[in-house]
Amino acid sequence: MKINKEGYKIIAISGLICLILWCMIYYFHSHSEAALLITSTAILFAFWIFIVAFFREPRRVKIHDPELVFSPCDGRVVVTEVVYEDEYLKQEMLQISIFMSITNVHMNWMPVAGEVEYYKYHPGRFLIAWHPKSSTENERTTTVVKLDDEKRVLFRQVAGLIARRIVSYIKVGNKVNQNDVFGFIKFGSRIDVLVPKNSELLVEIGDPVVGSQTPIVRLRKE
């Protein structure tokens, strides 16, 4: 199993903490409470394995289709609605929001191919990720990609109650390929994808999606 580079430091620190705790338990209880030692060993090891698994980097087949917008993350669809996008595009857009639980892979994949036209990091609050105001009030990044046919797709990495570390490798002017990795959100959050209002929605609220594999929208030709 490959581990994402964003997890190296956290995995090392959590492993060291678990080792220190185990040594303390062993020093004070190894001769009197064998059951406690066995139980604590199992719990600490399971916790460390969970941290390692959180930063797993699965192998995914790269799919390229200019008519499709793919899910940028693993998770479950929690919002599908038309909204007014007032940060950059200043128009009504179809929004699809995907919530990532702490058990999901937290890598983020580029939903479309094109050129990065706009990028901005917004400091903010840490409301629960499915809260309606999290898209505009939480810590987040906003990215707009201009497609070859001049359409624009906007997406936001949104921090949640637990997630307080958004990583994005995007810079304005970058040429990006569909389903390349563009970032990581640590410990649970959501991503909003905003596409032209007349696009064909391919998912419903409650649907599970797989990052870089599940098409969520079909763009209509103009």
Q: How far apart are CA 141 and CA 182, in angstroms?
A: 12
Question: Is CATH 2.70.70 the right assignment for the domain spanning 68-218?
Answer: yes
Most confident range, picked from 21-25, 38-42, 77-81:
77-81
Please, which pLDDT band fits residue 134 given cuts at 50, 70 and 90? low
Counted residue by residue, the chain has a size of: 222
Angle, CA 56 vertex, CA 135 and CA 155 arms, to 5° = 25
| 6: DSSP letter | G
Per-residue pLDDT tens digits for 50-71: 888 777 878 888 889 999 999 9
pLDDT-wise least confident of 24-28, 62-66, 93-97, 150-154: 24-28
Please, which pLDDT band fits residue 166 given cuts at 50, 70 and 90? confident
Read off the pLDDT of each residue in 85-105 and give the average, rounded to a whole number. 92
Q: Supply φ then ψ for residue 102, to 5 degrees.
A: -70, -10
Please, which pLDDT band fits residue 128 given cuts at 50, 70 and 90? low
Q: How far apart are CA 196 and CA 175, in angstroms?
A: 21
Element containing residue 18 per DSSP (H, E): helix 8-29
Read off the pLDDT of each residue in 14-25 and give the average, rounded to a whole number. 86
Query: How many Å separate Cα 55 from the centre of its chain?
Result: 11
| SS3 label, residue 203 | coil
DSSP bridge pairs for 68: 218
| 19: DSSP letter | H
Q: How far apart are CA 79 and CA 154, in angstroms?
A: 15
Q: Which residues are catalytic?
A: 189
Rounded to the nearest integer, the mean pLDDT of the chain is 86
Per-residue pLDDT at 28: 74
Read off the pLDDT of each residue in 98-122 and give the average, rounded to a whole number. 91
- Model confidence, pTM: 0.82
pLDDT at residue 178 tops 70:
yes
* pLDDT above 70: percentage of residues in the chain: 87
Per-residue pLDDT at 126: 63
* Cα atoms found within 13 Å of the Cα of residue 7, Cβ hemisphere only: 22
pLDDT at residue 222 tops 70:
no
Element containing residue 153 per DSSP (H, E): strand 152-159
Q: How far apart are CA 111 and CA 179, in angstroms?
A: 6
Per-residue pLDDT at 125: 67
What residue spans define the domains of the chain? 5-54, 68-218
Q: How far apart are CA 212 and CA 9, in angstroms?
A: 26
Per-residue pLDDT at 9: 84
Per-residue pLDDT at 51: 81
Q: How far apart are CA 69 and CA 81, in angstroms?
A: 16
Per-residue pLDDT tens digits for 151-164: 999 999 988 666 55
From the list 164, 129, 157, the residue with the least C-alpha distance to 143 is: 157
